[in-house]
Amino acid sequence: MLEVMATTKKPLIGITCGEVRNKTHPWSPVVHGQSRTYVRSIIAAGGVPVLLPVTANAEVVATYCSLLDGLLLAGGNDIHPSAYGQAPDGEPGDYSPGRDTSELMLLDWAMRNDKPILGICRGMQLLNVYCGGTLHQDIKSRLPDKADHNASTKLQSLIDFSHLHSLDPASRLAQFIGPEPIGTNEHHHQAIDELGQGVSASAWAADGIIEAIEVPGRAFAVGVQSHPESLTKVMPRWKGLFTAFVTACG
């Protein structure tokens, strides 16, 4: 039996899910889920993760919000360009309009109440879009001079440090993980174009693509384009981001 221990309450952190179809069985229902690396990184940093299903039901979202101490916007689908006032301009993206709606409701709550927010990959892009920023819809076709930002998966692994990002030493991200350039993975085909209102860039790839953002003056509103949740076990510097986030939620 699990004995209930009288300990200090740990912060409850919502992690947004994606809608995933089981590709081996076409008859399988769609699954709401998220990579376990997010869950493990939050637990390792001292938080209590809660997976948030995709829903636009206002009462359900409001109930989650009443319970949560922080919000982790996780990676996944492309944000539909209508969210930043554009039409799709190339190959049809991997869109999930329901997830856009659901996550924008959660993010709106977090921003209005100054709750800690950590955006990862799509989550970073969503934070920028919420603040009025825009995205490059496809790096490869729209910015052919740029590097391949979807390279890590070609190694069949997200544990990859071959991409070096430089940091603004004055940024909060640099406080959390140190100001020296940091090796990380790359698993994105879209990128930030215009920064949203009040949003600062805090890290860049060698080709100038924005790799991290933050909203100064907030309790904690930080986004990273790479997937550090896959790297915390092998690169202690990246653990600093999750520790800082969970601490801000506590």
Footprint of Mn ion on this chain (CB under 5 A)? 149, 186, 205
Of 103 and 186, which CB lies nearer to Mn ion in the complex structure?
A: 186
Of 21 and 140, which CB lies nearer to Mn ion in the complex structure?
A: 140
Catalytic residue among 121, 187, 189, 211: 121
**Is 227 designated active site?**
yes
- Least Å distance between CB 126 and Mn ion? 16
Q: From CA 131, how far away is CA 195, in angstroms rounded?
A: 8
- Least Å distance between CB 211 and Mn ion? 5
- Count the Cβ atoms, other than its own, within 10 Å of residue 122: 27
- Least Å distance between CB 149 and Mn ion? 4
Q: How far is CA 46 from the centre of its chain?
A: 19
Of 41 and 185, which CB lies nearer to Mn ion in the complex structure?
A: 185
Contact call for residues 221 and 200 (beta carbons, < 8 A): no
- Least Å distance between CB 102 and Mn ion? 25
3-state secondary structure at position 93: coil
Catalytic residue among 103, 186, 211, 229: 229
Of 149 and 172, which CB lies nearer to Mn ion in the complex structure?
A: 149
Catalytic residue among 80, 163, 189, 227: 227
Contact call for residues 10 and 249 (beta carbons, < 8 A): no
Q: Write out the E strands in the chain.
A: 12-16, 18-20, 31-33, 48-52, 70-73, 117-120, 135-136, 163-167, 182-184, 191-192, 200-204, 210-214, 221-224
Residue nearest to Mn ion (CB): 149
Q: From CA 23, how far away is CA 14, in angstroms rounded?
A: 27
- Least Å distance between CB 139 and Mn ion? 8
**Is 121 designated active site?**
yes
β 31-33/48-52 pair status? unpaired
Of 174 and 192, which CB lies nearer to Mn ion in the complex structure?
A: 192
Active site residues: 121, 227, 229
